[in-house]
Amino acid sequence: MQDWNALDDETFRGEVRRFFREHHPQSLRYASRRPRWREVRDWWATLYRHNWIAPAWPREHGGMGLSPAKLLIFIEEQESYGAARTPDQGIINLGPLLIRYGTPEQQRKYLPPTLSGEYIWCQGYSEPDAGSDLASLRTEAVLKGDEYVVNGSKIWTTMAHDATHIFLLARTDKQAKKQEGISFLMMDMRSSGITVRPIRNIAGHEEFCQVFFDSARTHRSNRVGEQNRGWSLAKALLGFERIFIGSPKYCQFTLAQLAALAAERGLMDDPVFSDRLVQLRLDTEDLASVFARFAEVMRNGSETLGPEVSMLKIWASETFQRITEFTLESLGNAGAIAAALPCGDRTIDAVNTFYYARPATFYGGSNEIQRNILAKHVLRLPE
């Protein structure tokens, strides 16, 4: 397996650029919605066949083992090319968690089929009455013999209708305090007692789902970590998720669209437009620099991600929103058209991207909650 980190940055960038140009399906470039599994299955298989499916995973677990600097280059080229996003919860969230906290048996059982696409994962965290206040979750798991019996529901479960498996938090001790008595479980979505109901979003797409558990069962060996100690794992996974949400990829993708729009319409001749665009580019570059720092911590595994990672999530989501708002403004009257508009060698669906940016400030923990975390645990401000 090639050591990509041994290449100089420009050589590596050229390799990534060539790979996407030669292998990525043209029909999936600059997708205006989250593709379904049936649409990206072949693209996943291509990535897997070339050992490119998990850029940040260590090489010993089948990943590319990219350093943070190389990972940023990978993301930049991926977004610049408009590559489609795959159903990657298992790659970006569960995989790193199992690599760090799972048993050797769990790693052998779940990591290879997660890489190959045999297992497609969704995340069962939020509930109808437990979103940002995740510790208030009510989904219950009762251990009966060697199996947990799970009852409750999860909501805003991304791409659950395509998933074969789910990782979730469930309350295993109803008498314990809110952040105690919670366990981290993995379940087969094909198990009896699991029902999935898609939710149509404002753009008319069914990206999210509600998942119902009616005495669904999973073996106790599918619990990660100790019983009633799942909250620490939840925080670790949220750290991975906030790093992913804090990636500059969405900002870079939307900036690329905005730059194409500026070139098409000659907007760079306007000094006000140019000034605002440069400011957004600087914000995105700063975001990429901070992202690299946290990615290095995650890659080394030598220390736990601290509460300051909340800064990354705030920065990325709010910058993303500002870029989409400026894009709509720059389109003028065309900014009210909810459709793909031709722009040079690509199309721009600015309204749909704007829609997609709206929930960015509250998934993964609302920005208000993130600011409270920073105030309390980083700035040490009084409650």
Model confidence over 82-136: pLDDT tens digits?
899 999 999 999 999 999 999 999 999 999 999 999 999 999 998 998 766 777 8
Res 257: pLDDT: 86
Residue 112 lies in a domain: no
- Tokens at residue 123, please? 């995340």
Same domain, 360 and 310: yes
Instruction: Write the CA distances from 123 to 12, 165, 169, integer angstroms.
Output: 32, 9, 9
CATH code of the domain in which 291 resides: 1.20.140.10
What residues have CB less than 8 Å from 43, skipping those under 6 apart? 24, 25, 28, 84, 86
155 and 54 both lie in a single domain: no
Amino acid at 76: E
Decide if 362 is inside a domain: yes
Same domain, 207 and 304: no
pLDDT value at residue 334: 81
Please enumerate in sequence order all residues whose Cβ is within 8 A of that of 28, keeping only pairs 6 or more positions apart, or say none: 35, 39, 40, 43, 83, 84
Residues 224 and 137 in one domain: yes
Q: Same structural domain for residues 269 and 366?
A: yes
Residues 276 and 326 both lie in one domain:
yes
The reply to whether 306 and 256 lie within a common domain is: yes
Same domain, yes or no: 297 and 363: yes
Looking at the 3D structure of the chain, how many domains does it have?
A: 3
Beta-strand relationship, 223-224 and 346-348 = unpaired
Residue in 241, 285, 308, 318 annotated catalytic: 241
The answer for residues whose C-beta is within 8 angstroms of residue 279's C-beta and 6 or more apart is none
Q: Identify whether the C-beta of residue 245 lies closer than 8 Å to the C-beta of residue 332.
A: no
* 131-137-138 Cα angle (round to 5): 135
According to DSSP, the β-strands at 121-124 and 208-219 are unpaired
Examine the residue annotation and report whether 241 is marked as an active-site residue of this protein: yes
User: Is 94 among the domain residues?
Assistant: no
Residue 101 in domain: no
Helix, strand, or coil (residue 376): helix
Residue that finishes a domain, picked among 184, 199, 230: 230
* Whether residues 364 and 267 fall in one domain: yes
> What is the 8-class DSSP label of residue 108?
H
pLDDT at residue number 79: 80
Residue 110 lies in a domain: no
pLDDT at 152: 97
Domain boundary among 204, 230, 256: 230
Q: Evaluate the CA torsion angle 287, 292, 298, 304 in order and state its sign.
A: negative
Residue 215 is assigned to a structural domain of this protein: yes
- My answer on whether 77 and 41 are in the same domain is yes
Residue after which a domain boundary falls, among 86, 106, 141:
86
Residues 304/110/47/16 CA torsion (nearest 10 deg): 20
**Residue 207 neighbours by CB distance under 10 Å:** 20
Low-confidence ranges of the chain (pLDDT < 70): 131-132, 239-240, 242, 298-305, 345
CATH number reported for the structural domain that contains residue 209 in this entry = 2.40.110.10
Burial class (CB in 10 A: 0-12, 13-18, 19+), 51: middle
- Domain enclosing residue 271, as ranges: 246-378
DSSP E strand stretches across 18-99 = none
Whole-structure pTM value:
0.82
Q: What is the model's pLDDT at position 248?
A: 85
Position 193, amino acid: G
Predicted confidence (pLDDT) per residue in 306-336, tens digit: 788 888 889 999 999 999 999 999 988 888 8
pLDDT of residue 263: 86
Tell me whether residue 272 is in a domain.
yes
Name the residue among 310, 258, 326, 318 with its Cα closest to residue 283. Answer: 318
Q: Give residues with Cβ within 8 angstroms of 273, minimum separation 6.
A: 262, 267, 330
- Check whether residue 140 and residue 168 sit in a common domain: yes
DSSP per-residue string spanning 315-333: HHHHHHHHHHHHHHHHHGG
Q: Give the Cα separation of 74 and 275 in Å (integer).
A: 28
Structural domain contains residue 294: yes
Q: What DSSP line would sit under 172-196, residue for residue?
A: S-TTS-TTSSEEEEEEETTSTTEEE
Is 284 found in the same domain as 226?
A: no
Q: What is the DSSP letter of 55?
A: T
